[in-house]
Structure 1
Amino acid sequence: MTEYKFSDRAYTKMIFHAAKYPHLAINGVLLAEKGAKSNSVVIVDAIPLFHQCLYVTPMVEIALMQVDAYAERENLVIAGYYAACENFYDNTLDKVPAAKIADKIQENFKGACFAIIDNKLVTLEQEEVALKVFSCNDGGRWSKSNYSLQNSKSTLEAVSVLLKRGAMKDVVDFDNHLDNPKHDWTNELLNKDLKQIMAMY
C-alpha cells in the first residue's frame, strides 16, 4: 500500500483554498517530484483549480494541460487530486462527484492519491490534520491510505495563525485566473511567503 507524505506548502494551500470558499465545493491537483516511488509518494505542492466550474469538462481539460506543462517545467508530476464538498457534513469519498478526474490522474501515475478535505476540521484552531487520503487498490477502487504531514505540529500551528490573519484570501485558483489572467494560479508569491513563514515555526 502506498504511503503519502504531505509538505507544509501543499497542506496549507489546500486548507486555504477550502477556507477561502467555505460555502462552495473546491478542487485541485497535487504534485510530487518526478521519479517518486509508487509505494512512497511525497506531495510537495497543491495547485488549486476550481470553486465554480468544477466539472465543466473544457475548463478542466485546459487547466490540467496547463498544470501538466507547469509540472514538467518544475520537474514534478501530477500525483493526486483533492476536493472538498460544499455540504459541511459530506466528507466521504462517495459524496465527492469528481472521482473521474482522480481516476484519470491515477491512470497516468500509479501511486496517485485522492485527498478529501474534512470540512469539520477546517477551523481557526488547527488541532488535527483535516484530510482523508485514499489510494487506488488493485481492483481499481479507492481505499483509505496511510499518510503523514511534514512537521505536523508546527505546520498546524502556522496554518492556524495564518487563517486568523485571513491569509487564505491570497490563494489563487484557476477560476480566479479565468476571471482575470493577471491572477497567477501557480501562486508563486504565496509559495515564497509560505517558505519564509514556515521556516519561523
Structure 2
Amino acid sequence: MPNYVITTKAYLKIILHACKHPFTSVNGILLAEEAFDGDSSDVKIIIVDVVPLFHHWASLTPMLEVGLQQVSVYANRNQLKMAGYYHANERADENKLPPFGQKIASKIQDNFHNSIALVVQNTKLSPNNPEIAIVPYIFKDNQWRPDNKAFSGPPSSFTLENSDIPSITSQSIFKRDFEVIYDFDEHLENVELDWLTNTKLAELMHGDKKRA
C-alpha cells in the first residue's frame, strides 16, 4: 500500500468547504503528485490540493460528469493526478462514506488504482480542541473501508504534512476564511467565481505564511 501525505492546503480546503455549508453535504476531488522512492517500488502519494464540487447535489447528476471532466483537464494541465474523493455529510453524527460517494470514488479509482476517499468527521470540528477531522477510506476486499488507525503513527500509511494542520485550520475557521472558498455549484450560479484554483483563498494562505 502506498504512503499518503495530506498537505496543509488540501486539508484546509476540505474543512473550509464543509464549514461554509454546514447544513448540506459537500464533496470534491483530491489532486495528488505521485512520487517513487528512488528505484524502489515504494510509492508516496502527496495530496497537494482539492477541487470543491457540490453542496446542492447529493446524488449522481449529469453536472457531476461535467465537473469531473473539467477537473480532469485542470489536473492534466498541472501534471497532477485525480487521486480520490472527499465528502462531508449533512448530519453531524453521520461520519460514513455514503453509497453515492462510494460510486464517485470507484469511478475515480477506474483511472487511478491507488485512489482514496476522505470523509470529514463533523463531530471533531471543534475550534476549542483542534484534532484531525478526516478519516481515509481505502478500497479493500471489493468495498470501501475506513482506516480508523490512520494518522496514528507507524505503521499507518497516512500522515499530515504538518502536525499543526488542525490548529492552523481552526484559526482559519475563526477568521472565516471559508467565505472565500467556492465550489462548482457556486461557479454555475456565477461563472466569475474561481472554483478550480480558489485564488482568493490561496492569497489568504500565502499571506498567513508570510506573516508566520
- Give the TM-score of the pair, scaled to structure 2: 0.86
Q: Deviations over 1:50-94 (max 9, x none)?
A: 00024242110000000000111111110010001101111023x
2:146 alignment partner in structure 1: 144
> Does the 8 A contact of 1:102 with 1:114 survive in 2?
yes
Residue 195 of structure 1: CA displacement? 3.2
- 1:179 and 2:182 aligned: no
Residue 33 of structure 1: CA displacement? 1.8
Q: Deviations over 1:107-148 (max 9, x none)?
A: 1101101100000012223521100001112x3222334311
Report the secondary structure of 2:100's partner residue: coil
2:173 alignment partner in structure 1: 163
Residue 152 of structure 1: CA displacement? 2.0
The CA distance in 1 between the partners of 2:99 and 2:13, in whole Å, is 19
- 1:69 and 2:73 aligned: yes
> Does the 8 A contact of 1:53 with 1:59 survive in 2?
no
Residue 159 of structure 1: CA displacement? 1.3
Distance change in 2, residues 1:112/1:149 (3 Å) = same
How many correspondences in the alignment? Answer: 198
Q: 1:132 aligns with which of 130, 135, 138?
A: 135
The CA distance in 2 between the partners of 1:10 and 1:126, in whole Å, is 20
> Does the 8 A contact of 2:86 with 2:119 survive in 1?
yes
If you compute each CA radius of gyration, which structure gives the higher value, 1 or 2? 2
- Correspondences of 1:20-169 after superposition (within 5 Å): 20-33=20-33, 39-93=43-97, 95=98, 97-125=100-128, 127-137=130-140, 139-145=141-147, 146-153=157-164, 155-169=165-179
> Does the 8 A contact of 2:34 with 2:44 survive in 1?
no
- Report the AA paired with residue 4 of structure 2: Y
Report the secondary structure of 1:98's partner residue: helix
Structure with greater contact order relative to length (CA < 8 Å, sep ≥ 6): 1
Structure 1 unaligned runs (5+)? none
Distance change in 2, residues 1:198/1:111 (3 Å) = farther
> Does the 8 A contact of 1:6 with 1:149 survive in 2?
yes
Report the secondary structure of 1:97's partner residue: helix
The CA distance in 2 between the partners of 1:110 and 1:38, in whole Å, is 15
> Does the 8 A contact of 2:177 with 2:201 survive in 1?
no
Residue 8 of structure 1: CA displacement? 0.2
- Report the AA paired with residue 119 of structure 2: I
Q: Identity, % of aligned pairs? A: 34
